[in-house]
A and B are shown apart, each in its own frame.
Chain A
Amino acid sequence: MRQLMLIVTTIFLSGIAANIFAQDGNAGTHKFMLAGLGQTSFISEQNANSTIETAFEPIFLYSVNNNLLFEGEIEAEIEDGGQAFNLEYAQLLYVVNDYLTFGGGKFLNPSNYFLERLHPAWINKFPDMPFFVHEDTKLQAPTHIGFQVRGGIPAGTMKIEYAAYLGNGPVLMPDEGLLSFDNFGDNNSNKVVGGRVSFLPVPQLEVGYGVETSKVGDSESDFADVNALSNTVDFTYTTKMNALKGGVDVRAQATWLNIDNPQIAPLTYDNLSKGGYAQIAYHPYNADGPFLKNVEIAYRFDWVDPPNEAPSNAKLTRSSFGLNYWLSTSSLFKFTYETASEELPGESSTSSDRFIGQLAIGF
């Protein structure tokens, strides 16, 4: 851990030096930049001790020229009573032509719009992730280790975006009926194949579809032929409304994960899990007065619905009410009240509430 911290500190200082150099003298053709985010959260939950968590996630960007980019993010977190230090992503990207970029390394899952583009604390309207992309529910891999191609294609006033990838893929955990996404090594020679295509008929609107599939069982096990198929649809509508003196942001995403039923114990049930979220936010950034224009209100509904026969079969639903105050275009206070419901098959549901306050900054 200390060695890693030393490495990060060294890179951090070299980033500062590079920036000073770039502004003061010959900037050169190689470019380096330190970006990232930081956040601290206070969490007060019903029937649990309140706690404070924090995270620092530096992003290193380095380009040799306009076609070759390296990007890497390290995630250092203090949460759940412990400290975590992870490589969020690290990949080399090569712009092949105007409409095609090739990348290799560890990258955010391109088939999942929320995970790839909306999860950073200063972008996410809420201080936590929706259930269906949370690491505990294991519906979709947050990252892949492999290769990807992607790009955007204009078509008149419309635009199409695409991404396709292959990687190590998820690993089946038969006892739990779930997938593990700690895919640092592959458990079989089959690779996950996936992609996403989205359509923007107008700039404000985007509708996307993502899919990924792979064999997930250990190659030496009875589950070697078990396949997992994940489908995701996403929807985004962001617009400025003069009548409301601000912007409205509507987003939704739903995921279906189907793991084959091999009829071999303990996997003797149809294993289809569902989850998603829908969210609306309003930010009156053109309102009169310095206070109101920095205020944003948001509402989110999210859920996960695992199969009844699975060991972890609680159906979760949650409503989140957010009040955010923007300190700058990339830093804000978030105040969120959540009420969640958990329902086990054949039992009445139980609910719990919690409050989260978060200070987040992107740089």
Chain B
Amino acid sequence: MKLISKIKHVDWKKLAVAGIVISLFIIVASCASSTPILERPGAQLWGENCGHCHNIRPPKSLTDSEWDLAVLHMRTRASLTADEARKIAEFLKSSN
């Protein structure tokens, strides 16, 4: 009953509008060709994951050792998978 009483506070009209907007974004975004995550190269994963929140930093801005640490930090903060973190670190260090 507690849960039901809290659900009644939800503004269903606004939620419906948000749902429609999000659905439109999904349709538009899905038009772009997409490779399975596990097959994406490090450069692509770097742009997609890092650029999701902030400007991507040039590979040469940090040393290899610093990139290892920065990627581990962001792996935990941004919930990267192990494969994504490994490929991004390898790409950044190979471009250094």
Contact = CB atoms under 8 A, between A and B. Distances in A.
A binds B: yes
Interface of A: 19, 22-23, 27, 31-33, 35, 61-63, 66, 69, 71, 93, 95, 97-99, 101, 103, 116-118, 122-123, 150-154, 156-159, 161-163, 201-207, 229, 233, 235-239, 247, 250, 252, 256, 258, 272, 326, 329-330, 362
Contact of B76 (A97, A103, A118): A103
A204 B48 CA distance: 7
Contact of B69 (A61, A103, A151, A162): A61
B13 interface: no
Contacts of B49: 203
A214 B45 CA distance: 37
Interface string B19-58: 0001001100110101111100000000011011111111
A157 B29 CA distance: 12
Given A31-B69, A157-B37, A256-B9, 13 more contacts: A19-B66, A27-B65, A33-B65, A101-B75, A154-B37, A154-B81, A156-B36, A201-B30, A202-B30, A238-B52, A239-B29, A247-B51, A330-B54
A329 B58 contact: yes
A271 to B, nearest CB: 11
A13 to B, nearest CB: 17
B69 to A, nearest CB: 5
A92 B20 CA distance: 40
Contact of B72 (A66, A205, A256): A66
Given A69-B73, A201-B26, A156 B65 contact: no
27 contacts: A19-B66, A22-B65, A27-B65, A31-B66, A33-B70, A61-B72, A71-B76, A95-B75, A95-B76, A98-B81, A101-B76, A118-B53, A151-B81, A154-B36, A156-B37, A158-B37, A202-B30, A202-B34, A203-B48, A203-B49, A204-B29, A205-B25, A235-B22, A238-B51, A326-B55, A329-B57, A330-B57
